[in-house]
Amino acid sequence: MGARTSEAARVLLADDHVDVLKALQLLLKAHGFRTQAVGSAAAVLAALREGEYDALLADMNFTRDTNSGGEGLELITQVRALAPELPVIALTAYGSVELAVEAMRRGARDFVQKPWENERLLSVVRTQVELARALREQRRLEAENRALRAEGAVPELVAHSPAMRALVELIERVGPSDATVLVTGENGAGKGLVARALHAASERRERPLVTVNVGGLAESLFESELFGHVRGAFTDASSDREGRFELAHGGTLFLDEVGNLSPALQWKLLRVLETGEFERVGSSRTLRADVRVLSATNADLRAEVEAGRFRRDLFFRLNAIELSVPPLRERREDLPALAQGFLERHARRYRKELQGFEAAAEAALLAHAWPGNVRELDHAVERAVLLARGSRVSAADFALVPERGAAAELAPTTLLTAERLLIARALERHGGNLQRAARELGLSRAGLYRRLEKHRLERPEARAE
For the stretch 103-125, pLDDT in tens is 888 888 888 888 899 998 999 99
The whole-angstrom separation of Cα 220 and Cα 332 is 43
* Torsion sign (Cα): 410, 413, 416, 420: negative
pLDDT at residue 96, rounded to an integer: 67
What pLDDT score was predicted for residue 66? 57
Taking a C-beta distance cutoff of 8 angstroms, is the pair 375, 187 a contact?
yes
- CA 328 – CA 4 distance, rounded (Å): 31
> In this predicted structure, what is the pLDDT of residue 3?
36
d(CA 1, CA 82): 10
Per-residue confidence (pLDDT) for residue 450, from 0 to 100: 79
Indicate the SS3 state at residue 290. Answer: coil
pLDDT band at 320 (very low <50, low <70, confident <90, very high): very high
Query: Taking residues 381-406, what's their average pLDDT?
Result: 81
**CA–CA separation, 25 and 12 (whole Å):** 10
Which positions ≥6 away from 146 have C-beta within 8 Å? none
Q: Reduce the DSSP state of residue 13 to 3 states and report it.
A: strand
Biggest alpha carbon–alpha carbon distance for the chain: 91
DSSP per residue over 217-268, as a string? S-HHHHHHHHHEE-TTSSTT--S-EE-HHHHTTTSEEEEETGGG--HHHHHH
Tell me what the mean pLDDT of segment 136-162 comes to: 64
What does the pLDDT read at residue 418?
Answer: 63
Asked, as a colleague might, if the bond just before 115 is cis with ω within 30 of 0, I would say yes
> For 401, which DSSP code?
P
pLDDT of 88 > 70? The answer is yes
What is the pLDDT, as a whole number, of residue 446?
A: 77
User: Exposed, middle or buried, 118 (CB in 10 Å: 0-12/13-18/19+)?
Assistant: exposed
Q: Does the pLDDT of residue 412 top 60, yes or no?
A: no
Q: What is the dihedral of CA 183, 184, 190, 194, to 10 degrees?
A: -20
pLDDT category of residue 144 using cuts at 50, 70 and 90: low
Shortest CA distance to 70 belongs to which of 83, 403, 78, 302?
A: 78
241-272 pLDDT, tens digit per residue, is 888 999 899 999 999 999 999 998 999 999 99
Q: How does residue 460 score in pLDDT terms, banded at 50, 70 and 90?
A: low
Give the DSSP letter string of 76-133. HHHHHHH-TTS-EEEEESS--HHHHHHHHHHT-SEEEESSPPHHHHHHHHHHHHHHHH
Burial of residue 218, with CB atoms counted within 10 A of its CB: 0-12 exposed, 13-18 middle, 19 or more buried: exposed
- Which domains are seen in the chain, by residue range? 10-131 (3.40.50.2300), 152-324 (3.40.50.300), 330-454 (1.10.8.60)
Quote the pLDDT of residue 316: 95
Q: Are strands 88-92 and 110-113 parallel, antiparallel or unpaired?
A: parallel
Secondary structure of residue 17 in the 3-state scheme: coil
